[in-house]
């Protein structure tokens, strides 16, 4: 399958939209909006279908690329809810989805020099300057558990989020507790997921090729990820970009923890009672279909009660971290606030997640006194084992 790379590639799929708005809503009976931008202002424009019609209008020359188009396309948080809910686009022969059309629009806007101010601009400038968006994260497995011959390899992705350090420390602690030797894979710069999401595609292919060249000799091994964005991108998009790609065994760290609990290699301590609510990260859940493992991990912790938010699993509501456009002012923060309100309704003590971006985003908008109520699942497990 080839990566959808031009507006022409997404034309036929865009033409399937019936304007039914199904892409914006969660399932019956709650019927709550799942699309963050639609949730903020319900209208056809601010829905997956709106993006598809915009793609068609751009193709037909009814509207020109502009800063507004870039701001609009970057306002989508790429949460993938629309593609999960749309009933018509899935059966289309081209296997092009709504998010593909949005990414293509970002790509085309970037090509014409239209980039939203703020974070997107910073990423773009860095990518243009260095040809990369990688960050060394200082993650180093201790010698006692590190083995280059191990069949499990830790994919230590680059460090963009503030949370990364805490998550990395907790991860190392947990790997020590589990005790099985693991190898380490440090990607060459960025795996490409950020560049891909935001349309910075000129530099994408060299990075992807360089990473694959490093991964290829290890492809018989199992790669373990703690950033679902990297995992989803490598598993789903590398095959579309690289002609010589062959599938890799892969696992999210939550799955490794769930297995460790089941196998008795990780044991929960007797700690105080606590209620937690688990936020499904979009790329781990809707992207990779991993919903159960994080819940199994929480279930294995003594004294921890899981209370679900109304929107959960494939109907989870995004944290808004990847909203980089400001077509709707404060959309990113308001999306996180809406999710936090939903968390507060559960009466849980802690909001836990399994993606560094989600943790960063929630902590960013949480009142200062409550910031410690947001944790990555890895940190919670480390504390209670």
Partner 1 sequence: MVTKTKTKTVQNVNQAACQELKKAIGAEKVRDDEITLVTHGRINHGFDPSMPFHMPSMVVFPETREDVVETLKIANKYKISVNPVGIAQMAIPTAEGDIILDQRHRDKIIEINTDSGYAVLEPGVSHDKLTSTLRGTGFKCEVGTMTGSATVLAGGLTGGSKSFSNRHLSSILDLEVVLPDVTIFNTGSSMFPGVGPHVRARPYADLAGLFTGSNGTLGVITRFAVRLHPVNEVSRVHVAGFSNFSDAVDYVKDLVNHNIPEHCIIWNWHMYHTWPLDSEGMKTVMPEILKMDIRKPPEGTPYSMVTSFLSGYEEQVEFYEKMCVKIALKCHGRAYPREEVEKRWPQTMAGLKQQYEDYSYREGTHWARGRWSGFVVFAEPKDIKEVEKLAVKEFAELGPRARPINNYAHPFDYGRTFLFRYAGFPETDDVETRMKIGKKTMELCALALKKYRAVPIRGMGESEGEKAYLDVLGRIKKALDPNNILNRAAGAGLYKGGR
> Would you tell me which residues interact with partner 1 (CB under 8 A)?
11-12, 14-22, 24-25, 27-31, 41-45, 50, 53-54, 56-57, 60, 62-63, 66, 68-69, 72, 87-93, 327
Nearest residue to 181 via CA among 144, 220, 224? 144
Q: What tokens were used for 88?
A: 């018509």
Of 24 and 167, which has the nearer Cβ to partner 1?
A: 24
CA distance 22 to 132: 38
**Residue closer to partner 1, measured from CB, 34 or 191:** 34
Q: How far is the CB of 194 from partner 1 (least distance, A)?
A: 25
**Rounded to a whole number, what is the distance in angstroms from the first to the last CA of the chain?**
44
CB atoms within 10 A of CB 29: 5
- 15 class by beta-carbon count within 10 Å (0-12 exposed, 13-18 middle, 19+ buried): middle
Which uninterrupted H or E stretch holds 130?
Answer: helix 119-130
Complex with partner 1: residue 28 or 243, whichever CB lies closer: 28
CB closer to partner 1 out of 100 and 382:
100
CB atoms within 10 A of CB 347: 9
CB of 29 to partner 1, least distance (A): 4
The Cα–Cα gap between 187 and 252 comes to 16
Min CB(64)–partner 1 separation in Å: 9
Residue number, 136 or 310, with CB nearest to partner 1? 310
Those residues with Cβ within 8 angstroms of residue 328's Cβ, 6 or more apart along the chain or in another chain: 37, 40, 41, 46, 75
Closest separation in Å from C-beta 215 to partner 1 = 30
Separation of alpha carbons 231 and 326, rounded Å: 28
Q: How far is the CB of 33 from partner 1 (least distance, A)?
A: 10
* Distance from C-alpha of 268 to C-alpha of 301, rounded to nearest angstrom: 5
Of 19 and 262, which has the nearer Cβ to partner 1? Answer: 19
The minimum distance between CB 73 and partner 1, in angstroms, equals 10
DSSP 25: B
Judged by beta carbon, residue 117 or residue 148, the one nearer partner 1 is 117
Q: How far is the CB of 42 from partner 1 (least distance, A)?
A: 5
Closest to partner 1 by CB, 88 vs 307, is 88
3-state secondary structure (DSSP) of residue 303: coil
Output the smallest distance, CB 49 to partner 1, in A: 8
CA distance linking residue 119 with residue 93, whole number of Å:
36
């Amino acid at each position: 399958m080839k990566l959808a790379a031009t507006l022409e590639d997404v034309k036929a799929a865009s033409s399937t939209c019936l304007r039914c708005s199904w892409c914006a809503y969660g399932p019956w009976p709650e019927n709550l909006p799942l699309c963050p931008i639609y949730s903020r202002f319900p209208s056809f424009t601010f829905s997956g279908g709106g993006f598809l019609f915009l793609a068609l209008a751009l193709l037909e020359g009814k509207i020109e690329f502009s800063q507004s188009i870039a701001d609009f396309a970057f306002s989508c948080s790429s949460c993938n809810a629309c593609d999960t809910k749309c009933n018509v686009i899935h059966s289309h022969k081209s296997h092009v989805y709504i998010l593909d059309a949005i990414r293509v629009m970002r790509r085309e806007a970037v090509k014409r020099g239209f980039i939203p101010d703020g974070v997107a601009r910073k990423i773009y400038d860095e990518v243009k300057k260095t040809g990369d968006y990688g960050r060394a994260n200082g993650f180093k497995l201790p010698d006692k558990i590190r083995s280059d011959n191990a069949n499990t390899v830790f994919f230590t992705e680059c460090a963009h989020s503030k949370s990364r350090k805490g998550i990395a420390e907790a991860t190392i602690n947990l790997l020590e507790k589990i005790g099985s030797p693991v190898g380490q894979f440090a990607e060459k710069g960025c795996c490409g997921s950020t560049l891909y999401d935001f349309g910075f595609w000129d530099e994408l292919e060299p990075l992807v090729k360089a990473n694959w060249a490093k991964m290829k000799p290890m492809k018989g091994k199992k790669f373990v990820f703690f950033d679902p964005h990297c995992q989803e991108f490598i598993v789903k998009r590398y095959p579309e970009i690289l002609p010589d790609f062959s599938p890799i065994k892969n696992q999210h760290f939550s799955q490794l923890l769930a297995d460790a609990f089941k196998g008795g290699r990780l044991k929960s301590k007797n700690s105080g009672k606590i209620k937690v609510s688990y936020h499904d990260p979009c790329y781990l859940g809707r992207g990779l279909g991993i919903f159960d493992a994080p819940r199994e991990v929480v279930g294995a912790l003594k004294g921890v009660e899981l209370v679900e938010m109304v929107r959960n699993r494939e109907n989870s509501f995004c944290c808004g971290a990847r909203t980089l456009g400001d077509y709707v002012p404060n959309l990113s923060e308001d999306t996180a606030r809406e999710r936090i309100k939903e968390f507060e309704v559960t009466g849980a003590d802690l909001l836990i997640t399994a993606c560094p971006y989600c943790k960063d985003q929630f902590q960013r908008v949480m009142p200062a006194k409550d910031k410690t109520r947001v944790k990555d699942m890895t940190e919670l497990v480390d504390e209670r084992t």
